[in-house]
Amino acid sequence: MKDGEIRALCHRFFDALEARDIKTIAELYDDGLAFWFNMTDRTTTRDENLAGLEAGYARHRRRLYNDRIVNTFEGGFVMQYTLNITHHDGRRMALFPCIVVLCRDGRITRIDEYIDSGKFAAQPAASAPAVEAAA
């Protein structure tokens, strides 16, 4: 994939995340997708990740993926961004993730997501499922 194709895939993916468009996200994921998250040190499958996204959408009123900084490389991209979450009760939270994404033939094959764990230390019951849903 060329730089422009990788950037288009990146923005299509994050626009779909923001729009809660699970169908498009599923189309962008390779069937063998592996998703690793630093907070849990766990790798999940495509279907597990899609289920986690659905659960996260139910927990939050809105998620905005702002301040996107994209750097491409052969076979993927690195993106830094601000994830602004609005909870159903109006509370707001900002996270500052960085992801490394591998892609092939227009689909995402692997995602490694890094979030500052200090953002969760202040939250009393930040269990692994709650942390994954916030991400």
Output the pLDDT for position 59.
Answer: 87
- Residue 49 vs residues 16, 101, 119: alpha-carbon distances, Å: 14, 14, 22
Residue 114 confidence (pLDDT) above 80: yes
Output the pLDDT for position 83.
Answer: 92
Output the pLDDT for position 1.
Answer: 87
Residue 118 confidence (pLDDT) above 90: no
Q: Assign residue 127 a region (left: φ > 0; alpha: ψ between -120 and 50; beta: otherwise).
A: beta
Q: What is the mean pLDDT of residues 34-62?
A: 93
Intra-chain end-to-end CA distance of the chain, in Å: 27
Q: What does pLDDT average to over the chain? A: 88
In the chain the domains, ranked by start, together with CATH numbers, are 3-134 (3.10.450.50)
Structure tokens at 15: 């626009």
Output the pLDDT for position 102.
Answer: 98
- The predicted-structure confidence for 1-31, as pLDDT tens digits, reads as follows 899 999 999 999 999 999 999 999 999 999 9
Residue 98 confidence (pLDDT) above 60: yes
What's the rounded Cα separation, in Å, for the pair 14 and 64?
Answer: 9
